[in-house]
Amino acid sequence: MSKLPPARFRPITMTFTGQTSANQTQEYILSMLDKLTFDEFGPPSGLKCVLSIDDLNMPAKEMYGAQPPIELLRQYFDHGF
């Protein structure tokens, strides 16, 4: 990620732990992006966002096996992150 040209990419790097929550994940990702409209976030104009997550499988599972931070990422990608 450090070799990506900053003139073209906005890298976001994060590490999941057993205590990572969906709220923490959302807050961190949104803090790294710009607010484009009232309810839309993204990298500055002309840049692409690259998201790298270490230890993706680490968040604790809920009673029925869901991992909320991973579900949040799935939702982002389903809706065109």
The H or E element containing residue 54 is strand 48-54
Average pLDDT, the chain: 91
Per-residue pLDDT reduced to its tens digit, 21-41: 999 999 999 999 999 999 889
pTM of the model: 0.83
Structure tokens that stand for 35 in this block? 């607010």
Nearest to 51 by CA among 66, 37, 68, 30: 30
pLDDT tens by residue, 6-25? 889 999 999 999 999 999 99
